[in-house]
């Protein structure tokens, strides 16, 4: 290769390198304009950032329960665990004056065991179990369609904390943080559940 041809090739390579640099550099964002990492102050970090609708169709922001311990339970009227309603009502009556809220969340996600309307669900709970703790409208509690509270609770507690059936329980502390969770098998009068409630109420 002649010296002149070699020089032209080197010039071509240098020119190509310069062109690439001009194309790539504008794509790189300046360091001081990078998107900040999420922090603990990012919105939707506690249960108090979420809201339900009551079984009667009224807004139910969970921030209304700030300072209280809340047991959130996905319920169903035609489930083998439906008798747990009785224990939930008893738990509510025992601890409500100390700051416990039991929140029933009807869901038809598991085997279609909550097919009725909100009015039918309310009547069933009132007639059969004299339920008077707060209840929400019927929502989904699993998968992509899950209510935002349930998506958050699963993220906070991990995969195993997601509801696997009706009457799964999330315990939320006075500050809105997830304290603990209990499977459907854990009855409302179970010693470990009551102990967790007592600890949360004690602060």
Tokens found for residue 86: 């009785």
Identify the active-site residue in 74, 128, 132, 166: 128
pLDDT band of residue 203 (cuts 50, 70, 90) is confident
- Residue among 107, 117, 132 at smallest CA distance from 184: 107
Active-site residue flag, 132: no
**Residue 30 pLDDT > 80, yes or no?**
no
**Residues 6 or more apart whose Cβ sits within 8 Å of residue 46:** 175, 176, 177
pLDDT band of residue 43 (cuts 50, 70, 90) is low
d(CA 61, CA 49): 8
- Residue among 139, 130, 144, 200 at smallest CA distance from 172: 200
d(CA 37, CA 39): 6
Share of the chain above pLDDT 70, in %: 78
Tokens found for residue 146: 């899950």
> Whole-prediction pTM value?
0.79
């Amino acid at each position: 290769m002649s010296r002149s041809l070699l020089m032209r090739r080197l010039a071509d390579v240098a020119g190509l390198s310069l062109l690439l640099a001009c194309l790539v550099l504008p794509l790189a964002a300046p360091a001081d304009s990078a998107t900040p990492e999420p922090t603990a102050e990012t919105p939707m970090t506690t249960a108090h950032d979420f809201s339900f609708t009551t079984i009667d169709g009224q807004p139910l922001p969970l921030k209304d329960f700030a300072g209280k311990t809340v047991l959130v339970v996905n319920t169903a009227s035609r489930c083998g665990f439906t008798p747990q309603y009785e224990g939930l009502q008893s738990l509510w009556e025992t601890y409500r004056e100390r700051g416990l809220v039991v929140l029933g969340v009807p869901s038809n996600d598991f085997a279609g065991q909550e097919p009725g309307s909100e009015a039918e669900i309310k009547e069933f709970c009132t007639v059969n179990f004299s339920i008077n703790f707060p209840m929400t409208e019927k929502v989904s509690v699993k998968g992509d369609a899950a209510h935002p509270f349930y998506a958050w609770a699963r993220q906070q507690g991990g995969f195993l904390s997601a509801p696997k059936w009706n009457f799964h329980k999330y315990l939320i502390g006075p500050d809105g943080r997830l304290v603990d969770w209990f499977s459907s098998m854990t009855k409302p009068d179970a010693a470990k559940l009551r102990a967790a409630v007592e600890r949360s109420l004690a602060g």
